[in-house]
Amino acid sequence: MKIDDWLLEILACPACKAALRAETEAEELVCTGCGLIYPVRDDIPVLLVDEARKP
């Protein structure tokens, strides 16, 4: 997974607006607030609440 640091700094969870952290091995973004886990497909974050899974 290749997400630039500057992009990761401005991305936020669409559900609670908290910051996201990258889980590079799993190719996912994890919300630091509510804990939703968003997939990353072909290096593109899918930030849709319907596509996220709960921890």
Give the pLDDT confidence of 39-52 residue by residue, as tens digits. 999 989 999 999 99
Domains identified in the chain, total number: 1
Distance in angstroms (rounded) separating the CA atoms of residues 10 and 8:
6
Report in angstroms the alpha-carbon separations of 14 from 20, 24, 50, 53.
10, 20, 11, 13
Domain range holding 14?
5-51
pLDDT tens-digit profile of 3-51?
A: 889 999 999 999 999 999 999 889 999 999 999 999 999 989 999 999 9
Looking up residue 34, the CATH number of its domain turns out to be 2.20.25.10
Do residues 52 and 36 touch, judged by C-beta distance below 8 A? Answer: yes
The H or E element that residue 6 is part of is helix 5-10
Instruction: Give the pLDDT confidence score for residue 3 in this predicted structure.
Output: 87
Distance in angstroms (rounded) separating the CA atoms of residues 54 and 6:
26
